[in-house]
Amino acid sequence: MLSRTADHLFWMARYMERAENTARMLDVNYQTSLLPQSADMAEQGWQGLLSISELSWSFQQKYRELTPRNVMDFMVRDETNPSSILCCLRAARENARAVRGALTTEVWETQNQTWLEFNRLLKEGRFERDPSMIFEWVKYRSHLSRGVTVGTMLQDEAMHFLRVGTFLERADNTARLLDVKFHALSSEYFGNGNVKETQEVDFYHWSAILRSVSGFEIYRKVYRNVIRPELVAELLILRPDMPRSLAACLNEVVANLEPVANQQSAETLRRAGRLRADLQYGRIDEILATGLHAYLTQFMDRVNDLGAGIGRDFLVPVAA
């Protein structure tokens, strides 16, 4: 496969996943903001959303005041924010258009219709009237995109690069979400001993994290217990049967990198396998003993390094 084609497929999947992740976090934060809570906690939640996406500085350059409406406008439809849902859906569609021949008709039409329909919904004022409806719609379209891709495309190199892009982006987002949400309670988290949460923080904070990754019902099924921070961390880091956990994401990344391996990708594949092995054989008490923030920061650095290696080995066109 041409590296240029692989590049477009990889980034099409990443941008679609990023749009969904942004919609998930905004939806949960918007729903939580409607519940009784202190002004400080409400502001902390919106600030946390910007921190997760590393958009705090960009937001401050454009908006004087941190309000729910300003944050949602910035992260949903601001064309100057490359990580906004609008820009992500446009980038996904443009990457799909560039490799139209590598996609099935169903995949292309899903991407194209998502972009056109999203613009129509914004023009009709749906976002102002019901933000949650927009967020749910974006999540649904992302699910539809993945389903159509798996259900209609040949399981060849094109599919592998789409899957690698999806799960690399998902791993990065889950790590960022965990890091910011745990960091909001303490400069470093080593377990239950050093954090004294109020009941408000206990329930709303941890349930919001789980709901943002569709993990609330899964947590209840797996642990059958009250929501405990260390178990939330274990579920979203080490459980391979949790679809959005770091372990599950790295399993998929390695599984889809192996079939497309080439002569120069041995080191990238080794690093991906090493990262997967650390998650496969890791224990949450060991992770917490060294500090969750330090662990997640290192994980994100390794994921970024892995993304750079994939780009170097597979996606960057070789100069003639």
Instruction: Measure the CA–CA gap between 31 and 73, rounded to whole angstroms.
Output: 16
Take residue 110 and report the two structure tokens written for it.
């899903």
CA 88, chain centre distance (Å):
12
For the chain, domain boundaries: 1-153, 167-312
Whether the per-residue pLDDT at 31 is higher than 90: the answer is: no
The pLDDT, as a whole number, for residue 174 is 94
Q: Model confidence over 128-147: pLDDT tens digits?
A: 999 999 999 999 999 999 99
Whether the per-residue pLDDT at 288 is higher than 50: the answer is: yes
**Which residues fall within 8 angstroms of residue 238, CB to CB, at 6 or more apart?**
245, 246, 247, 279, 282, 283, 284
Claim: this prediction has a pTM higher than 0.85:
yes
Task: Report the alpha-carbon angle 14-311-320, nearest 5.
Answer: 130
Mean pLDDT of the chain: 89
Banded pLDDT at 52 (limits 50, 70, 90)? confident
